[in-house]
Chain A
């Protein structure tokens, strides 16, 4: 524990990188996921196909492989992002697939009658999504999206193997220097657990606030 306490400043710097990568990736994932979810429920068949292929590809590839492909594969075809952006891009694409499925599940919880009613009063596809389906669907998506966020946060530790100096990598370099062993690793794990628990609690609070009273 002494090693952790006497090296707080590099650890905090690493934690900042972890959080910023996780937050940026999650924001990116929300954008990608929402777009893909809309594609997957749209009336246009080719769009649904593209959405399905996207989800099935990025949901079924290990995040570590995806990181390596973006970091070491893309430069071979002439696309070189800096390391930080590479990590964010890979993780946003990966988590985007899960966000998409969470949103689609949320939309599916809205009874078909609601959509039929919306259409029968003359709302377009976009209008029925915006005024009828999504306001109800979003409420049931809170916990699934918190799950995706926690997955993104925890997954960001994989960025340490592609050279990102996140809190996991800082922990490893402290071990390299001070031979702290598993105590340092356990402390790093505790940091992730605390953030994940707080996120879960926050998600529960939001869910209670926005719950539909039936």
Chain B
């Protein structure tokens, strides 16, 4: 009854069969892969960007706070040379400044700034597979802080999630978290927030042929996708409790869910949506941002010198133009116009 000998003869055939099935599987996953976020700016060639600007152009919205006018006329692609030179020309602290601060001195002694953040954050912190480094507004800030303290942008990234961010700061595994990390009083009870360094807002993306969703109120009863780690998730739970939420861990999956028809709308930071819409005629961004998200840098609460130092550094790069240069090189690739005025440090509850 037990087909042992037959089994042996079968192994060869089974392996061939498996290989065939895997090939099919790879084929289908690489189709999905056009929107995979790990591939840096794959979909936005120059011609694609031109197509995309019309779909994103309809966004034309002025958000609350200092969220800028958005027309989506940019390329949506971070130019690496520009980005690198922005980091390279950012200021370096003199030895006395670092020596005088216990938190900064410990980092200098270690020789590396241990950061927490994302590898899949479009525009903010996206892994460049060629260099193995993360690129984006958040990533750039972390590299600038490292350069300020160490003289070179030497960072060591730990990927964080909503479940681990506060804990990793509290137990000293990371020096600072740069992760579109919204400052909230609940979080500020556990950790300290430097900043805010950017005020952002969530907007809505829908399939291009959708006409019945134009504002957050229209999301009632709809299936809405967003990112697991985002404050958009909380905002949706509060503002449209009847929406059927479908959170995924990264941008590419949310866009796939929208374009494949699993979700009616995708809600996330407006600049991320604009960058997705560029070069993707299947989707469009509608309405104005309906949240105000102040992003801060999470540091330890145990050592007050940490927040003090990071705030002083933020002030330095905001005053000397490095902050604006970084904004232009990253978020500015999708948002038209000059960099907005940075938000006042310590201006929101929890900061």
**A binding-site residues for B, Cβ under 8 Å:** 40-41, 45, 48-49, 52-53, 56-57, 68-69, 71-77, 80, 82-83, 108, 112, 115, 161-163, 165, 169, 171-173, 175-179, 181-182, 184-185
Within residues 162 to 176 of chain B, which ones have a CB less than 8 A from any CB in chain A? Answer: 162-167, 170
B107 interface residue (CB < 8 Å to A) = no
Question: Known interface pairs A56-B18, A76-B28, A83-B262. Does A115 touch B1 (Cβ–Cβ under 8 Å)?
Answer: yes
Within residues 232 to 290 of chain B, which ones have a CB less than 8 A from any CB in chain A? Answer: 233-234, 237, 245-249, 253, 256-257, 260-262
- By a CB distance below 8 angstroms, the chain A residues around B261 are 75, 80
Question: Known interface pairs A73-B32, A80-B261. Does A176 touch B2 (Cβ–Cβ under 8 Å)?
Answer: no
Q: How far is the CA of A56 from the CA of B162 in the complex (A)?
A: 36
Do A176 and B162 touch across chains, with their CB atoms under 8 A apart? yes
Do B10 and A48 touch across chains, with their CB atoms under 8 A apart? yes
B31 interface residue (CB < 8 Å to A) = yes
Q: How far is the CA of A205 from the CA of B260 in the complex (A)?
A: 46
Do B249 and A161 touch across chains, with their CB atoms under 8 A apart? yes
Do B18 and A169 touch across chains, with their CB atoms under 8 A apart? no
Do A72 and B237 touch across chains, with their CB atoms under 8 A apart? no
Nearest Cβ on chain A to B124's Cβ, whole angstroms = 17
B344 interface residue (CB < 8 Å to A) = no
Which of B18, B167, B231 lies in contact with A181, CB distance below 8 A?
A: B167
Question: Contact string, B184-199, partner A, CB cutoff 8 A, digits 1/0?
Answer: 1011011000000000
Known: A41-B3, A75-B262, A176-B230. 12 other contacts (CB 8 A): A73-B28, A75-B260, A76-B260, A77-B28, A83-B262, A163-B246, A163-B262, A165-B245, A172-B161, A173-B237, A177-B234, A179-B186
B225 interface residue (CB < 8 Å to A) = yes
15 contacts across the A-B interface (CB closer than 8 A): A41-B2, A45-B6, A48-B3, A57-B18, A72-B256, A76-B28, A80-B262, A112-B1, A115-B1, A172-B161, A172-B228, A176-B230, A176-B234, A177-B186, A179-B187
Q: How far is the CA of A172 from the CA of B260 in the complex (A)?
A: 25
Question: Contact string, B135-149, partner A, CB cutoff 8 A, digits 1/0?
Answer: 000000000000000
Do A72 and B10 touch across chains, with their CB atoms under 8 A apart? no
B346 interface residue (CB < 8 Å to A) = no
Q: How far is the CA of A176 from the CA of B230 in the complex (A)?
A: 7
Q: How far is the CA of A138 from the CA of B161 in the complex (A)?
A: 44
- By a CB distance below 8 angstroms, the chain B residues around A74 are 28
Q: How far is the CA of A207 from the CA of B13 in the complex (A)?
A: 38
Q: How far is the CA of A176 from the CA of B235 in the complex (A)?
A: 11
Question: Contact string, B15-54, partner A, CB cutoff 8 A, digits 1/0?
Answer: 0011001000100110110000000000000000000000
Do B189 and A179 touch across chains, with their CB atoms under 8 A apart? yes
B229 interface residue (CB < 8 Å to A) = yes
B341 interface residue (CB < 8 Å to A) = no
Nearest Cβ on chain A to B163's Cβ, whole angstroms = 5
Nearest Cβ on chain A to B247's Cβ, whole angstroms = 6
Closest Cβ neighbor of B252 among chain A residues: A72
Closest Cβ neighbor of A174 among chain B residues: B162
Q: How far is the CA of A56 from the CA of B228 in the complex (A)?
A: 33
**B binding-site residues for A, Cβ under 8 Å:** 1-3, 6-7, 10, 13-14, 17-18, 21, 25, 28-29, 31-32, 161-167, 170, 184, 186-187, 189-190, 225, 228-231, 233-234, 237, 245-249, 253, 256-257, 260-262
Do B28 and A173 touch across chains, with their CB atoms under 8 A apart? no
Nearest Cβ on chain B to A125's Cβ, whole angstroms = 9
- By a CB distance below 8 angstroms, the chain B residues around A69 are 25, 28-29
Q: How far is the CA of A125 from the CA of B233 in the complex (A)?
A: 57
Q: How far is the CA of A69 from the CA of B225 in the complex (A)?
A: 19
- By a CB distance below 8 angstroms, the chain B residues around A162 are 248, 253
- By a CB distance below 8 angstroms, the chain A residues around B10 are 48-49, 52
Closest Cβ neighbor of B1 among chain A residues: A115
- By a CB distance below 8 angstroms, the chain A residues around B230 are 176
8 closest A-B pairs by beta carbon, nearest first, are A163-B246, A73-B28, A75-B260, A179-B187, A176-B162, A181-B167, A175-B162, A76-B31
- By a CB distance below 8 angstroms, the chain B residues around A40 are 3
Do B14 and A49 touch across chains, with their CB atoms under 8 A apart? yes
Nearest Cβ on chain A to B9's Cβ, whole angstroms = 9
- By a CB distance below 8 angstroms, the chain B residues around A49 are 10, 13-14
Do A53 and B260 touch across chains, with their CB atoms under 8 A apart? no
- By a CB distance below 8 angstroms, the chain A residues around B167 are 181-182
Q: How far is the CA of A131 from the CA of B248 in the complex (A)?
A: 49
- By a CB distance below 8 angstroms, the chain B residues around A71 are 262
Question: Known interface pairs A115-B1, A179-B184. Does A48 touch B162 (Cβ–Cβ under 8 Å)?
Answer: no
Nearest Cβ on chain A to B230's Cβ, whole angstroms = 7
